[in-house]
Structure 1
């Protein structure tokens, strides 16, 4: 794998990890990687601007998800969004009095639970629509609209959580002693209380909330680049299929076509990465965490020692990975192994054309040990 491509891949992985809130705190261990030849390097830095996009042979009708189970149309989604905004006012009425009694906190959390489900459905619909229509400004605008609505809703939820945090230990214990509250919302309330020392005063929390539109810019800009400005001749679904193809030149062409945009914009992407890292450091510092890694792991009640142990264990056991890569190169009968050779099957693949309905049935059967109710969600 050549050094330019390696830099692109590392930058891409780091950007994605940081967007999802993961702070890299390990030293990347170098391994013996065979250098690419000059022709491959030249190919990576050549723009095929004159190359016309071939007509897609991918059958989207069979592969695209049916979102009508969420909303029948975009208009139905917009109608539900307006209804959601209206109904959040009911939850807002509990701000300032959610901890007044066990009844108040139960009613408030019941309302929040229903609103959370609706918010997830609203977001899922527009997110999946945007994934299908990568270059559609319509769904980009709808996503922005959903983001603004969710921000306002999150602020209401934060106000309620802040009230719960302000409870003394005795007051909190009295509320959590209620079996109904403890059984249904015990874990949620426990997670809130666990973060008590990292919450700030009302004024500071409001400032951090208002800054979120600015601090989220690196991830939003990266998303725009990835979905709108990264010109490519193949769709993600086609790339996933080609990269597993037995035709090596097709794999190489698809790989270069997919990643050349990252190489051409490496300085811009590096700048976005720096912005994301600085954002993480800022929030971690303001909330009193030891590091941004500590901040993100704390949401899952994990400590940094667990993360460090994971990295240490992986680094100590890379021999198996190296052995696998060597075996793959030998089985594929290749003199050199590149990244685009890592996905092609090394045994004769079983060509199964499984449609959606059959796949759904297989998954339903696989979930049967979990109970009928669990599997019925698929239908």
Structure 2
């Protein structure tokens, strides 16, 4: 039986260098005690922000506290994610996350007090205290929130219950990562293997249809056992967000999510509409794939399998690094040098271990390295994930090096652009440099899958969010059966008549952690479209486009995201980036049909 290694069995060189943050838990505890001394000092500024110099002092103290809190939180969540079943790390994470809610409560006076100042006060402060000029965009952004900000007492109350409001996501994560277990299945060789959320991604791509069907049914039937708990968790999260949007006097929850970053609601709705208007392209893909696979019936568990038989990938991590660096060469020496620094300096936690959180992500804060968590499993998909997550981390690297702390975190709307630009450059490199017909066909299918999963699939997710939030806002209760029904209808619409929508897929909504980050997933599609535009420009225009792109990477949140992208040459208020992406999808389908007719 295939067994996953324990954390202590993984060699040090394959783990992230978390000691760069704190050498041990004792050092973390020392800083935590320091935080508990410094954070309450923020309350001393209450009622005193009508003086420009005091406002500056308060902002500087906020930064000091926030940077310390950020380090503590990053370390705690990274340690917890290394081993989600370790109670000591759970306690560590709980302690700092609970205290972060207390810090929010202490700081709750700030925004209401800024908004209570007489009109023109901020402008005069900035003129009189030159050090405040760096905070200009931040302060004027706060002033735009005036219609949606509560009294100081109400803001303090909301901040004090933030940990409670985050409970649904916490419960969900504990259920999936610490408590839920899956049955054993037989792999291609008939060997018993423990199914996990991580290795499922490989089984569902198996050329052996029995394996992928068995994995598919085992996974989703396990989720189905927890349908009531999972539906209660998700609907509670939606209700919390709807409550917050009403409390803050937004027209609806979508506006609450988008308006603070000046993202027009039309951008969201137009993204859903644009994909719905082009579902014929996805239906065509399903039809072509069904024919190439030689299937009488196309099932949901056939969706991820490659259309061509090639030797199973086994790419050692060091080789993956070389491939990605070659693919990213158009981004220039400076970018490649930063990439190499990340590999050599311990940014990455590479391999899975028992109770390690699944998936992959980039993390870190202003005073830490931009870390990457992987669960590397030697496939081409894992190579792509490396490129993707390092795109996030190098974006963070540039932002933190070129922006002050207050603007160093890029917006959610821009969050997937750099990562997906890397993926796009990688895939084009692989396709263009492959001479073997079968491998080239395989890679074409891989890029089609990138677009299917990052554009079509994420927009389906976005439509699910839109439907569920609107129903809750209308007072319509949602049960587990309701969520399954909504999910089934969307799958039937998106995949068309050539797809058998298996009953097990009805539970797939429960496997998507991003649904706990309200109205986040549509940004994968808009991000991919922006990335596609950047990759096109970089390959076509060379150094000029690279410099514009690096300008985007360096911008952080120093301006609204639509403006940050527009300055770099990508206008997301127009449908062109998304339309161009679907055009690329159609071009790849043409290539497939050419192979079919050879």
TM-score (norm 2): 0.49
Deviation string, structure 1 residues 126-177 (Cα, Å, up to 9, x no partner):
2222222122222222221111111111223322222212122210211244
Partner of 1:18: none
| Cα drift, residue 366 of structure 1 | 6.9
Comparing 115-124 with 138-147, greater Cα deviation is found at 115-124
Among 197, 205, 212, the residue aligned to 2:147:
197
CA deviations over 1:255-314 (Å, ceiling 9, x no partner): 334332321121222222222222222211121110111111123222322221121111
The answer as to 2:325 corresponding to 1:362 is: yes
Partner of 1:94: 45
- Return closer, same or farther for 1:248/1:179 CA change in 2, 3 Å cut-off: farther
CA gap 1:352/1:284 in 2 versus in 1, 3 angstroms: same
- State the partner residue of 1:341: 302
Q: What does 1:1-379 align with in structure 2 at a 5 Å threshold? A: 54-56=2-4, 60-61=10-11, 64-101=15-52, 103-177=53-127, 180-182=131-133, 184-232=134-182, 233-346=194-307, 348=310, 351-355=314-318, 358=321, 362=325, 368=332, 378=342, 379=345
Contact 2:49 2:113 in 1 (8 A): yes
Contact 2:101 2:160 in 1 (8 A): no
1:34 equivalent in structure 2: none
User: Does structure 2 retain, via aligned residues, the 8 Å contact 1:367–1:375?
Assistant: no
Q: What is the CA-CA distance between 1:64 and the residue it aligns to?
A: 4.2
Distance 1:277 1:96 in 2: 35
1:356–1:297 CA distance, 2 compared to 1 (3 A)? farther
Q: Which has the higher contact order (CA 8 A, sep 6+)?
A: 1
- Consecutive unaligned residues of structure 1, counting only runs of 5 or more, are 1-52
Gap change, CA 1:373 and 1:55, over 3 Å in 2:
closer
Q: In the comparison of the two structures, how many residue pairs are matched?
A: 325
Residues in 2 aligned to 1:365 and 1:92: alpha-carbon distance in whole angstroms: 50
Contact in 2 for aligned 1:96/1:163 (Cα 8 Å)? yes
Q: 1-side partners of 2:54 and 2:319: how far apart?
A: 45
Return closer, same or farther for 1:99/1:342 CA change in 2, 3 Å cut-off: farther
Going from structure 1 to structure 2, the CA distance change for 1:72 and 1:240 (only over 3 Å counts) comes to: farther
User: CA RMSD for the aligned pairs?
Assistant: 3.3
Once residues 227 and 205 of structure 2 are traced to their aligned partners in structure 1, the CA distance between those partners, rounded to angstroms, is 26
Cα distance change of structure 1 residues 93 and 141 upon mapping to structure 2, 3 Å threshold: same
Q: Per the alignment, do residues 276 and 237 of structure 1 end up closer, same or farther by CA in structure 2, a change over 3 Å counting?
A: closer
Given that residues 198 and 287 in structure 1 are in contact (C-alpha distance below 8 angstroms), is that contact kept between their aligned partners in structure 2?
yes
CA contact (8 A) 1:95 1:156 kept: no
- 1:369 Cα offset (Å): 6.6
Task: Single out whichever of 236-245 and 118-127 deviates more from structure 2.
Answer: 236-245
